[in-house]
Chains A and B, each alone.
Chain A
């Protein structure tokens, strides 16, 4: 199966107070869904890197829009995020990212 890899990077001050989490995982890889893994970077880091591996080739511009919009609302900075996608719709991507943010602030 052909896979496409996409990279996104955002900088800026982390807005959320630094909670105790180190690693987070939401979702699962299955048809129409995705998993997100997040790792907290050292305290001084104020950038976030997002790596997307997707089975749906050719949707780079939609990923860009969905993630841009998400990062504009939620200041998830200072972490590295891996998204493993098996053809999730933008709705599912947004929902899983929202679940990640909820986990981030809960821990």
Chain B
């Protein structure tokens, strides 16, 4: 047992340590007693509040980035401050890598790094970056409150008042989670903001949790990550989307759901007002969403398909449209949307009937991975949405139906009824450049060997997948009663890939007879009729028209 004195010392050490740093840093305030620091003094400020070996949460989200603070972090004197342990959701910007290249940071615990995946892999192989673990968002957030609590948080907001209160606007994203974890363990919070104002539209982060404000005079970098141009949707996407709507959403009565990023799900969203409506599914499916505000949802919202949308983050250009629909989006008393990645991840994990994602590779067991050799991309939130949460206890019709159909889950719990979330993977049998999506060995195994991971980075394990949808048809994997049967069902929809060619036509016919595999024909869908003319909008411009001019797409998506 520790002595009383030792306990007392430990108790006060951390608090005193940060108090000392704050006193030291106060010299950089624009005037005595102020939290405001001139951007020109920001590097000095960071050198005062961050010490070698610290855990630093640099706010990197899917959308908004604390880009100014990231640049300042890179410009610190590496001789003075080094060996930092970065704990951040997303490694997205070149500066997120630069801080490792310059020897300021050494260790990273993160969730997602797709935008910098090649560089991350290269830095790992050169020994410039060590990876602690790669997490899902919820796991990393969880660890912020267990063993990866940040010492210093560098966050971003739209505006602040002099007391330090922050207004994050629609892109609230990870800020509340990062700040809460840091400040309540006495850490230091620095926020970059576009400007200081006298009165904020609303307070997203209380001022006493924020130590320093850096008004940079411009908005932070924000990526329109979830904008998909409908013009790029192909007839094959439409075919697969029709199958999902008719064969799964309509069949199970999927009311609440999450859609991943991808053109297949984009096609589903744009077929709701047309194809789904023609099947009489309005009011029966797709009413409650946990998704980012996809512009491609606008027609379904305007047609009255959608009752609610809660979001992880915002989407550039959707602000005014969302503000006009407080009946659908989560809008504050100030009239603007507030997102929250942690809350939306929880919702997407526990509270939805279905998740639909896409992937690059699927093996014969249905394990899927987007890992490519030479690239470390991480997981993001997909594994949390794309799984059946064992802790779920509430029921919905879709959940109960899927549970009843699950032929392999009763093995360990006896004759007790239990539901199941639908986890749907949409994947074309061949990807870009005719690269087969169905493989004997996932590239994840190669990446594991290259990067020295303990296990291959599998995005979704086969046992989580209830439905695999390709242009060949739907494999209702949950209805299979053995791994062998699951393999046969996967091969049956794997088309002309090597794995698909192993399918036994007689066995496939048998699976179709039992409703385990359904082709478009079995579903009453004419392949020749699958084309983009069914989409409610076929261009970004048409989405703008649907929104009554309120959706303002970024310039790169404008062709007019």
| Residue pair A94, B471 in contact (C-beta under 8 Å) | yes
A38 to B432: give the CA distance in the assembly, Å: 27
Which of the candidate stretches B194-202, B233-241, B299-307, B365-373 sits at the interface with the other chain?
Answer: B233-241
CB neighbors of A among B56-113 (8 A) = none
Known contacts A89-B428, A90-B496, A95 near B434 by CB under 8 Å: no
| Residue pair B528, A101 in contact (C-beta under 8 Å) | yes
Chain B residues with Cβ below 8 Å from A89 are 236, 428-431, 434
Residue of A33, A91, A99 near B531 (CB, 8 A) is: A99
Mask: chain A, 19-58; 1 = CB below 8 Å from B; 0 = not:
0000000000000110000000000000000000000100
Chain B residues with Cβ below 8 Å from A100 are 528
Q: Is B529 an interface residue (CB 8 A)?
A: yes
Chain A residues with Cβ below 8 Å from B531 are 99
Known contacts A89-B430, A91-B471, A95-B239, A102 near B528 by CB under 8 Å: yes
Chain A residues with Cβ below 8 Å from B163 are none
A19 to B526: give the CA distance in the assembly, Å: 20
CB neighbors of A among B507-560 (8 A) = 526-531
Chain B residues with Cβ below 8 Å from A32 are 234, 432
A98 to B287: give the CA distance in the assembly, Å: 33
Q: Is B415 an interface residue (CB 8 A)?
A: no
Mask: chain A, 63-90; 1 = CB below 8 Å from B; 0 = not:
0011000000000000000000001011
Which partner residue on chain A sits nearest B521 by CB separation?
A73
Q: Is A6 an interface residue (CB 8 A)?
A: no
| Residue pair A87, B433 in contact (C-beta under 8 Å) | yes
| Residue pair B528, A91 in contact (C-beta under 8 Å) | no
Q: Is A3 an interface residue (CB 8 A)?
A: no
A79 to B188: give the CA distance in the assembly, Å: 76
| Residue pair B433, A95 in contact (C-beta under 8 Å) | no
B100 to chain A, nearest CB (A): 36
Q: Is B164 an interface residue (CB 8 A)?
A: no
| Residue pair A95, B235 in contact (C-beta under 8 Å) | yes
Which partner residue on chain A sits nearest B495 by CB separation?
A90
A75 to chain B, nearest CB (A): 15
Q: Is A59 an interface residue (CB 8 A)?
A: yes
Known contacts A91-B429, A98-B527, A101-B528, A59 near B434 by CB under 8 Å: yes
A79 to chain B, nearest CB (A): 16
A4 to B235: give the CA distance in the assembly, Å: 25
A107 to chain B, nearest CB (A): 13
Known contacts A65-B496, A87-B434, A89-B434, A95 near B527 by CB under 8 Å: yes
Which partner residue on chain A sits nearest B500 by CB separation?
A90
Chain B residues with Cβ below 8 Å from A90 are 429-430, 495-496
Known contacts A66-B496, A89-B428, A56 near B434 by CB under 8 Å: yes
Q: How many A-B residue pairs have C-beta atoms within 8 angstroms? Tell me.
A: 55
A60 to chain B, nearest CB (A): 12
Which partner residue on chain A sits nearest B432 by CB separation?
A32
Chain B residues with Cβ below 8 Å from A103 are 528
Known contacts A65-B496, A66-B496, A102-B526, A91 near B428 by CB under 8 Å: yes
Chain B residues with Cβ below 8 Å from A94 are 471, 527
Which partner residue on chain B sits nearest A32 by CB separation?
B432
| Residue pair B529, A102 in contact (C-beta under 8 Å) | yes
| Residue pair A91, B529 in contact (C-beta under 8 Å) | no
A103 to B528: give the CA distance in the assembly, Å: 8
A56 to B431: give the CA distance in the assembly, Å: 14
| Residue pair B234, A92 in contact (C-beta under 8 Å) | yes
B494 to chain A, nearest CB (A): 11
Residue of A56, A62, A96 near B496 (CB, 8 A) is: A62
A99 to B235: give the CA distance in the assembly, Å: 10
A98 to B428: give the CA distance in the assembly, Å: 17
CB neighbors of A among B422-446 (8 A) = 428-434
Chain A residues with Cβ below 8 Å from B528 are 95, 98-103
Which partner residue on chain A sits nearest B435 by CB separation?
A89
Chain B residues with Cβ below 8 Å from A56 are 434
Which partner residue on chain A sits nearest B437 by CB separation?
A89
A22 to chain B, nearest CB (A): 19
A53 to B470: give the CA distance in the assembly, Å: 26
A33 to B532: give the CA distance in the assembly, Å: 14
| Residue pair A92, B496 in contact (C-beta under 8 Å) | no
Which partner residue on chain B sits nearest A106 by CB separation?
B528
A99 to B234: give the CA distance in the assembly, Å: 14
Residue of A62, A95, A99 near B471 (CB, 8 A) is: A95
A66 to chain B, nearest CB (A): 6
Chain B residues with Cβ below 8 Å from A92 are 234-236
Mask: chain B, 476-498; 1 = CB below 8 Å from A; 0 = not:
00000000000000000001100
A32 to B495: give the CA distance in the assembly, Å: 17
A73 to chain B, nearest CB (A): 9
A18 to B147: give the CA distance in the assembly, Å: 74
23 A-B pairs whose Cβ atoms sit less than 8 Å apart in the complex: A32-B432, A56-B434, A65-B496, A66-B496, A87-B433, A89-B429, A89-B434, A90-B429, A90-B430, A91-B428, A91-B429, A91-B470, A91-B471, A92-B234, A92-B235, A94-B471, A95-B235, A95-B530, A98-B526, A99-B527, A99-B528, A102-B529, A103-B528
- In the complex, the 10 A-B pairs of residues with the closest C-beta atoms, listed nearest first: A102-B528, A91-B471, A89-B430, A98-B527, A98-B528, A90-B496, A99-B528, A91-B236, A62-B496, A95-B235
